[in-house]
């Protein structure tokens, strides 16, 4: 089964739950008197977003964007394609972009520029995983779940070829599978 394709577990389901709870507490504090819009960048962040939303005790809206820059590759092409845009007007709104992983930063740099033209009050980035060793832009996350290694990881929403998203943990994919 799919678990056999994992070299090792990097973040357990329990570690993910604990860290997401802590992020939720941080948002509850930082946005207690605001009405933010949390935007899940699909597909990778949908599990993280759902779990994060259940930790919030503030008024907020949720929205979704579908963005692609990887295609079938293991690295970003740098060409961003938006296939589902926001449903909400974000003018004068506090927007939190929720991502599964901040890698090269190319996609988020594009999204920040794209959304900034709509005049939000603020745009913050919340990423479950930050891989700073691969950064090709100046994008920095405001909220980070974990710093992760420069290894090919899957699970908990992260995929390879649209597979492995359903793993309850984040693990390192065996190299022979993607090489």
Tens digits of residue pLDDT in 2-45: 999 999 999 999 999 999 999 999 999 999 999 999 999 999 99
User: Catalytic pick from 51, 103, 130, 159?
Assistant: 103
Q: What integer best gives the mean pLDDT of the chain?
A: 93
CATH no. for 2-178: 3.40.50.2020
pLDDT of the residue at 73: 53
DSSP single-letter state for residue 174: P
pLDDT of the residue at 14: 98
Residue 125 binned pLDDT confidence (cut-offs 50, 70, 90): very high
Residue 72 binned pLDDT confidence (cut-offs 50, 70, 90): low
Annotation marks residue 103 as catalytic:
yes
Q: Enter the tokens of residue 29.
A: 């504090």
In this predicted model, what pLDDT tens digit does every residue of 150-179 receive, in sequence order?
A: 999 999 999 999 999 999 999 999 999 988
Question: Is pTM beyond 0.85 here?
Answer: yes
* Domain range list for the chain: 2-178
d(CA 163, CA 152): 13
First and final C-alpha spacing in the chain? 19
d(CA 106, CA 73): 15
Closest CA to 99 of 23, 152, 8: 23
């Amino acid at each position: 089964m799919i678990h056999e394709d994992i070299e090792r577990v990097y973040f357990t389901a329990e570690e993910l739950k604990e860290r997401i709870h802590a992020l939720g507490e941080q948002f509850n504090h930082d946005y207690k008197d605001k009405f933010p819009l949390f935007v899940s960048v699909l597909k990778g962040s949908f599990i993280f977003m759902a779990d994060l939303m259940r930790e919030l005790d503030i008024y907020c809206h949720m929205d979704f964007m579908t963005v692609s820059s990887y295609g079938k590759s293991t690295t970003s092409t740098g060409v961003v394609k938006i296939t589902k845009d926001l449903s909400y007007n974000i003018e004068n709104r506090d927007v939190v972009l929720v991502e599964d992983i901040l890698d090269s930063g190319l996609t988020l740099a594009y999204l920040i520029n794209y959304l900034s033209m709509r005049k939000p009050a603020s745009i913050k980035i919340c990423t479950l995983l930050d891989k700073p060793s691969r950064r090709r832009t100046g994008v920095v996350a405001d909220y980070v779940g974990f710093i992760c290694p420069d290894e090919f990881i899957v699970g908990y929403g992260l995929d390879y070829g649209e597979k492995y998203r359903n793993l309850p943990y984040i693990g390192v994919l065996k190299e022979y599978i993607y090489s």
